[in-house]
């Protein structure tokens, strides 16, 4: 197998890599020759094709820093960091409790800040690297029942662009992939509610390609940003079957 097609090293950190889109990203990057370190709150990482699995809640700043530093000590500075971990509960905003907001913000926004903050210094010192942040089309166009989640994902998109600007002179590139509805355990858990399931069916009907994305569809876009030659930064790519065509 050839090594990864980019110059900064071989460590790829993937958050939320145990299930769904994250597991497909782990497989994609491992196949490209990266040593993949997974940070996930689910302990099932041992079965993945990854070099290391750390049981970490991305919302926990200190545990994230420990895991990122342990992976870096073993494999060198991260060449690629994929902020993929995310979570949502579909509910109208008027029914949301502040406790739910805090959890959503912790996982979907603060988690991205924690991981980026832990990884960025050694990437800058190494002369560069790539961030690929998995946001959502909800962060580009909004989504009913997902107000706080949408706010977090919009925040991730803006954060990614700011890091792309700050990181450019250090060789650090940052881009976002925005999945549309994708067949994963997260989507399945939402579909267990009949009202949400109806919304999902309507979304598939409204999708020009008339189908859900697969985790592998999203992983292919992540793989592109992880390994393209190095002149794409601050960009947002939807993988949504054409559901959103945001300019």
Ligand X SMILES: NC(=O)c1ccc[n+]([C@@H]2O[C@H](COP(=O)([O-])OP(=O)(O)OC[C@H]3O[C@@H](n4cnc5c(N)ncnc54)[C@H](O)[C@@H]3O)[C@@H](O)[C@H]2O)c1
The verdict on 32 binding ligand X (CB under 6 A) reads no
Comparison of 8 and 149: residue with beta carbon closer to ligand X: 149
- How many residues interact with ligand X (rule CB under 6 A)? 29
Q: What is the DSSP letter of 109?
A: I
Q: What angle do CA 126, 25, 166 make, to 5 degrees?
A: 35
The answer to whether 149 is a known catalytic residue is yes
> 40: which strand partners?
55
Comparison of 9 and 175: residue with beta carbon closer to ligand X: 175
The verdict on 131 binding ligand X (CB under 6 A) reads no
Alpha-carbon distances, residue 151 vs 47, 157, 163, 200 (angstroms)? 33, 10, 18, 20
Report CA Rg, the chain: 17
Residue of 179, 223, 237, 238 that binds ligand X (CB under 6 A)? 179
- The stretch near ligand X (CB under 6 A) out of 66-74, 124-132, 158-166, 182-190 is 182-190
The verdict on 22 binding ligand X (CB under 6 A) reads yes
Give backbone dihedrals phi and psi of 11, rounded to 5 degrees, phi first: -85, 130
The verdict on 223 binding ligand X (CB under 6 A) reads no
Active-site annotation holder among 34, 149, 159, 225: 149
The verdict on 20 binding ligand X (CB under 6 A) reads yes
First-last CA distance in the chain: 38
> 134: which strand partners?
177
The verdict on 237 binding ligand X (CB under 6 A) reads no
3-class SS of residue 169: helix
Interface positions with ligand X (CB under 6 A): 15-16, 18-22, 40-42, 56-59, 84-87, 107, 111, 134, 136, 179, 181-182, 184-187
């Amino acid at each position: 197998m050839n090594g990864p097609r980019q110059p900064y090293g071989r460590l790829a950190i993937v958050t939320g890599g145990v299930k769904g889109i994250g597991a497909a990203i782990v497989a994609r990057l491992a196949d490209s020759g990266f040593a993949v370190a997974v940070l996930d709150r689910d302990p099932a990482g041992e079965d993945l094709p990854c070099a290391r699995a750390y049981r970490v809640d991305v919302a926990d700043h200190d545990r994230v820093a420990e895991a990122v530093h342990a992976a870096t000590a073993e494999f060198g500075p991260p060449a690629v960091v994929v902020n993929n971990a995310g979570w949502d509960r579909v509910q109208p905003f008027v029914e949301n409790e502040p406790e739910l907001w805090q959890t959503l913000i912790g996982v979907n926004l603060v988690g991205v800040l924690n991981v980026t903050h832990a990884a960025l210094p050694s990437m800058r010192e190494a002369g560069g690297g790539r961030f690929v942040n998995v946001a959502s089309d909800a962060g580009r166009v909004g989504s009913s029942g997902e107000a706080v989640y949408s706010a977090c994902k919009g925040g991730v998109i803006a954060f990614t662009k700011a890091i792309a600007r700050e990181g450019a002179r250090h060789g650090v590139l940052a881009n976002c992939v925005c999945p549309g509805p994708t067949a994963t355990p997260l989507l399945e858990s939402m579909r267990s509610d009949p009202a949400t399931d109806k919304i999902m069916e309507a979304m598939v009907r409204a999708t020009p390609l008339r189908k859900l994305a697969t985790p592998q569809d999203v992983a292919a876009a992540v793989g592109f940003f992880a390994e393209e030659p190095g002149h794409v930064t601050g960009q947002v790519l939807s993988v949504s079957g054409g559901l959103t065509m945001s300019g």
